Amino acid sequence: MRYVPRLITPELQKAARSFPSVVLTGPRRAGKTTLLRRAFPKATYRLLEDPEVVARVRSDPAAFLDDLRPPALLDEIQNTPELLAHIRARIDAAPRRTGRWLLTGSQDAPLMRGVTESMAGRAALLELWPLSTQETPKVSLVRGGFPEVLARPRSAALWYRSYIQTYLERDVRAISSIRDLATFRRFLTLTASRCGQILNKSDLAAPLGVSVPTITDWLGILEVTGQIVLVPPFFENLGKRLVKSPKLYFVDSGLACHLLGLESETQVRRSPFLGPLFEGFVLAEILKQQQCAGRRREVYFFRDQRGLEVDFLVPLGGNRLALVEAKASTSVRPETGNSVAAVKASARAYKTHGFVVHRPRASDEPLRALRPGIRAVPLEELLAFLRRR
C-alpha cells in the first residue's frame, strides 16, 4: 500500500513552526515514524530502540546530541528518557528556534511524565491513532486501521498475533512488573468481549482469579499504551439519576475482532459482538477526527438508572451537542431514534442535533429524517457534520 497522507499533517507542521519541540505519541505501529519522516524529510533520524544507539546515549547523552544536526527526529524517546533534560537545555539556550526536536513515543504514561517534568512549555504534544476512514477507504470494522494490516490484509491474523506478542514483551513489561503474561493475554481477550459495556472491574477480575486493584492497573496499562479508551458519562445532570462509571472500547476494531476470533466480515455480521464493535468503530472515527483537527478528545455517553441511553454525546462548542446512537443494522425505523429523542427532550438547555449512525446499503437513501431533529446517516455523513461545526 502506498503512503496514505495523514489528516493530522497540517496540525503537526503548524506545531513545529510554533514550538521548539514536537512530541508525537500513540499506539505502537500506528504510523508515527512514517508520518514524521514524510512531513520532515530533512530531519536527522535516530531510532532509540537500536542497542548500539541506546548504549551511546547512556554513555554520553550530551555528545550524542552534539553529533546531530537539527531538526532531529528521535524515535521511541521513552527508551532514553535521560535525553529530555539535555534537549531542554538546548531549547533554553535558543528558545526562539522552532521545530528542532521531533520526538515519538509508543507509551504515553512514562513519556508524558518526562515531558511534563522536562519539556513543559517547550513541546507541542500530539497523538496519532491508526488510519481513519477519512484517510483511506480500506479502513473497515474487521480490519481496523493499522497501516501494515491494510497493506497486507491476507496476513492480518499473523500480524495481530505478532503485534500482541511484541506488545506484551515490550510495552507491558516496560511499564509494569507483570510476571504472568499468559493471564494478561487472557485479560486482553476478556476486555475485548466487554467492548461497549459499562466498566465493571469485578466482572473482569473474577474469571481471571485476580484482584480488582490488579484489573485497575492492567486497564491503566491498556489505556496509556493506546489500546483502549474509556468514555466518561456526560458531566451534566439532565434531571436524572445518571450512571457514573465509564464505558470501555478498543481503539482499533481490527485488534478487537482478532482477540474475539473474528477474521472476516461474514463472521463479524453473524457475531453477537457486531453492535458493540460498530459502536467502538464509530467512536474511534469521531476521536480521530478531533485529534487531527487539533481539538482535545471530548466524547461522552448518557445512561440513567432507568436504562435510557444514548451511545455518544459530542460537544460542538457553545451550547450545542450532537447526540449519536450507533446501530450496526443496514436499515432503521423511526422508533430507532426514541432514546435520542428522549434525551433531546431532557436537554432543553442545549441546542441538540440527533443522529442514528448505521450501515446503509449502497442503494439506500443516504440521509433520512427519523423524527424532528433526528436523522439516520452513514458514518461519513456524521463525520462531515462534525467537521463543519
Residue 142 located in a structural domain: no
Residue 275 contacts residue 325 (beta carbons within 8 Å): no
Residue 348 has a pLDDT of 85
Residue 112 has a pLDDT of 63
Residue 240 located in a structural domain: no
Three cell numbers, residue 296? 482535545
Residue 23 located in a structural domain: yes
Helix (H) or strand (E) holding 352, with range, is strand 351-357
The alpha carbon torsion through 82, 83, 84, 89 (nearest 10 deg) reads: 120
Q: Give the residue-averaged pLDDT of 46-58.
A: 92
Query: Is the confidence at residue 179, as pLDDT, over 80?
Result: no
Q: Are residues 268 and 312 in the same domain?
A: no
Domain span holding position 70? 9-127
Residue 49 has a pLDDT of 86
Q: What is the spatial distance between Cα 210 and Cα 239, in angstroms, rounded to a whole number?
A: 38
| Paired sense of beta strands 247-250 and 300-303, if any | unpaired
Residue 140 located in a structural domain: no
Phi–psi pair at 100, nearest 5 degrees: -90, -25
Three cell numbers, residue 256? 478487537
The rounded percent of the chain whose pLDDT value lies above 70 is 93
Residue 364 has a pLDDT of 59
Q: Name residues whose C-beta falls within 8 Å of residue 15's C-beta, 6 or more positions apart in sequence.
A: 22, 124, 126
Q: What is the spatial distance between Cα 305 and Cα 317, in angstroms, rounded to a whole number?
A: 28
Output 107 or 356, whichever has higher pLDDT: 356
Number of folded domains that form the chain: 3
Q: Are residues 333 and 375 in the same domain?
A: yes
Q: Are residues 16 and 119 in the same domain?
A: yes
**CA nearest neighbour of 353 among 387, 324, 330, 312:** 324
Residue 268 has a pLDDT of 96
Output 239 or 175, whichever has higher pLDDT: 175
Query: Is the confidence at residue 120, as pLDDT, over 80?
Result: no
What integer best gives the mean pLDDT of the chain? 90
Q: Are residues 270 and 155 in the same domain?
A: yes
Looking up residue 107, the CATH number of its domain turns out to be 3.40.50.300
Q: Give the residue-averaged pLDDT of 288-311.
A: 90
Q: Are residues 121 and 158 in the same domain?
A: no
Helix (H) or strand (E) holding 192, with range, is helix 181-192
Residue 166 has a pLDDT of 87
Q: What is the spatial distance between Cα 299 and Cα 315, in angstroms, rounded to a whole number?
A: 7
277-287 pLDDT, tens digit each: 999 999 999 99
Three cell numbers, residue 94? 535558543
Q: Are residues 213 and 164 in the same domain?
A: yes
Q: Are residues 202 and 253 in the same domain?
A: yes
Helix (H, G, I), strand (E, B) or coil at 323: strand
Q: Are residues 214 and 316 in the same domain?
A: no
Q: Are residues 158 and 120 in the same domain?
A: no
Q: What is the spatial distance between Cα 290 and Cα 8, in angstroms, rounded to a whole number?
A: 10
Looking up residue 158, the CATH number of its domain turns out to be 1.10.10
Residue 352 contacts residue 344 (beta carbons within 8 Å): yes
Q: Are residues 198 and 114 in the same domain?
A: no
C-alpha triplet 342, 344, 347: angle, nearest 5°: 115
Residue 136 located in a structural domain: no
Residue 3 located in a structural domain: no
Q: Are residues 197 and 114 in the same domain?
A: no
| Paired sense of beta strands 309-317 and 300-303, if any | antiparallel
| pTM confidence score | 0.92
**CA nearest neighbour of 186 among 164, 169, 166:** 164
Residue 299 located in a structural domain: no
Q: Are residues 321 and 224 in the same domain?
A: no
Residue 289 located in a structural domain: no
Helix (H, G, I), strand (E, B) or coil at 229: strand
Query: Is the confidence at residue 177, as pLDDT, over 80?
Result: no
